[in-house]
């Protein structure tokens, strides 16, 4: 293990600021760790040339400090544009396509001093919580190379777990920051919708399901990166005032009330042992001085699913329908993308309206819960990491999965409403496989959730249980 790459991002930053570590030394250690671990994991793709990256690191050592990320190597999820690097989105049509400019969130991280070294792997178009694609292949779980790393930010989470990077960016529509966080024993944070703006391409008013966000091995690093990514874009309608998350992260959480939703009254099929594994984490939450109460399902899970799948297919069709309309390009879309697009194209305006009414009703029901509870908690996933060669699980506990994403239904109550949510790593489960709990709160409760994550991390340093290959 390279001691430098096992440091937290903020510790690396402080060491560089105090002259105890140079950006060049950190870059060399990072490249050595990638050379050691990435061939087996396949988390980082499109890595820039070593001599070019070393030159950038030496330049960082010779220039004034830009921000807390000054000199820190960062690999960007391969759905986002980083100037001069390919943005394949996991699709052959875009393999090797070089981005002419940074996306806004990438520009913010670069402005804070990050050195962009390459990209992290993702499923094609980011569709599906299992990271594999025809351009870069599959990402393997560092804790068990025969298993999935999750997705769609699976490359980012696996790179973190394998100590190739100390922080990572990602995005989350259907658990894509939370599922891989749980499966790679790291923290993933889905921010309040609008806090971290996406690009201004296409519609910026209607589609409110996906957001960008951070991943890290500690909540302090998670909060620091979120604060860099955050900030309204005046060109977009949904940004709002927000509070920074790092300054108050050590605020005591004793006395806060948490509502446990479990498997939603049996609505969410769970792999044997995972629910009990998750419930053991409730005892640990209570030991932090929290009050945890078990709740009956507050809303019909199938209604949430109906609303979610309608709005998701509508959004995906809006983004990909032009490719579907061209027969040559349609042939290069994976079956799950075609299925989503065709569902979206078949929707009427009233279908979308009805889905939005359900979303509105669930939002109101959730708001009533937050009058009594500071946060709600669910298992992050419905099963442990599955074999990497699978496309998706066909069944859980004998219950058939009727779509490529039904096995992640448990994330939809949060994503449908654009609520903030943090995955916290649990103690390792059976066969040494990771799992997590998802704590979520009302809009703009991002700082409070970071505080819960920090309290958890201070007491239970499960994220420090690193994989053997690292």
| 3-class SS string, 350-404 | HHHHHHHHHHHHHHHHHHHHCCCCCEEEEECCCCCCCECCCCCCCEECCEECCCC
The CB-side HSE value for 234 (13 A sphere, CA atoms) comes to 0
Q: How confident is the model at residue 41, as a pLDDT? A: 99
Q: How confident is the model at residue 1, as a pLDDT? A: 41
CATH 3.30.470.10 fits 9-464, yes or no: no
3-state SS class at 423:
strand
Catalytic: which of 176, 307, 313, 455? 176
Catalytic: which of 13, 46, 77, 198? 77
Q: How confident is the model at residue 241, as a pLDDT? A: 82
Distance CA 308, CA 303 (A): 8
What is the pTM for the complete model shown? 0.98
User: What residue ranges of the chain have pLDDT lower than 50?
Assistant: 1
Any catalytic annotation for residue 176?
A: yes
Distance CA 170, CA 421 (A): 14
The DSSP output letter for 167 is E
Q: Are 224 and 9 in contact (CB under 8 A)?
A: yes
**Secondary structure of the chain: what % helix, strand, coil (to 5)?**
40, 15, 45
Q: How confident is the model at residue 401, as a pLDDT? A: 98
Any catalytic annotation for residue 77?
A: yes
Q: For the segment 115-152, what is each residue's pLDDT rounded down to a tens digit?
A: 999 999 999 999 999 999 999 999 999 999 999 999 99
Q: How confident is the model at residue 240, as a pLDDT? A: 77
Distance from chain centroid for Cα 450: 15
Catalytic: which of 88, 148, 152, 438? 152
């Amino acid at each position: 293990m390279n001691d430098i790459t096992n440091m937290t991002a903020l510790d690396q930053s402080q060491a560089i600021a105090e002259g105890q570590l140079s950006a060049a030394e950190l870059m060399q250690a990072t490249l050595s760790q990638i050379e050691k671990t990435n061939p087996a994991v396949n988390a980082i793709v499109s890595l820039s040339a070593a001599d070019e990256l070393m030159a950038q690191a030496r330049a960082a050592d010779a220039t004034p400090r830009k921000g807390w990320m000054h000199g820190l190597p960062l690999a960007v999820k391969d759905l986002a544009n980083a100037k001069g690097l390919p943005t394949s989105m996991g699709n052959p049509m875009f393999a090797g396509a070089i981005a002419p400019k940074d996306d806004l969130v990438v520009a913010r991280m670069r402005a804070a001093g990050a050195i962009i070294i390459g990209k992290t792997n993702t499923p094609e178009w980011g569709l599906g919580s299992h990271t594999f694609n025809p351009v870069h292949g599959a990402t393997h779980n560092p804790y068990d190379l025969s298993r999935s790393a999750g997705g769609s930010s699976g490359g980012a989470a696996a790179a973190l777990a394998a100590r190739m990077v100390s922080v990572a960016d990602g995005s989350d529509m259907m658990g894509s920051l939370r599922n891989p966080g749980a499966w790679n024993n790291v923290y993933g944070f889905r921010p309040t919708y609008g806090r971290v703006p996406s690009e201004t391409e296409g519609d910026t008013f209607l589609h409110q399901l996906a957001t960008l966000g951070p991943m890290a091995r500690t909540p302090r690093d998670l909060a620091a990166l979120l604060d860099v990514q955050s900030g309204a874009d005046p060109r977009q309608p949904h940004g709002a005032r927000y509070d920074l998350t790092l300054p108050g992260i050590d605020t005591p959480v004793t006395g806060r009330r948490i509502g446990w939703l479990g498997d939603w009254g049996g609505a969410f099929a769970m792999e044997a042992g995972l629910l009990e594994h998750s419930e053991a984490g409730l005892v640990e939450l209570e030991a932090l001085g929290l009050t945890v109460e078990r709740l009956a399902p507050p809303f019909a899970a199938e209604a949430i699913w109906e609303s979610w799948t309608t709005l998701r297919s509508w959004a995906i069709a809006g983004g990909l329908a032009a490719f579907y309309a061209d027969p040559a390009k349609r042939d290069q879309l994976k079956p799950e993308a075609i299925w989503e697009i065709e569902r979206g194209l078949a929707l009427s305006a009233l279908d979308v309206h009805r889905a939005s009414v359900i979303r509105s009703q669930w939002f109101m029901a959730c708001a009533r819960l937050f009058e009594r509870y500071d946060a709600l908690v669910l298992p992050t996933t419905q099963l442990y990491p599955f074999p990497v060669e699978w496309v998706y699980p066909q069944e859980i506990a004998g219950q058939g999965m009727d779509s490529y994403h039904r096995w992640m239904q448990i994330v939809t109550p949060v994503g449908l409403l654009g609520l903030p949510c943090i995955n916290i790593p649990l103690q390792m489960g059976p066969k040494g496989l990771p799992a997590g709990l998802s704590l979520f709160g009302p809009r703009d409760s991002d700082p409070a959730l970071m505080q819960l994550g920090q309290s958890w991390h201070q007491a239970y340093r499960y994220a420090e249980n690193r994989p053997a290959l690292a």
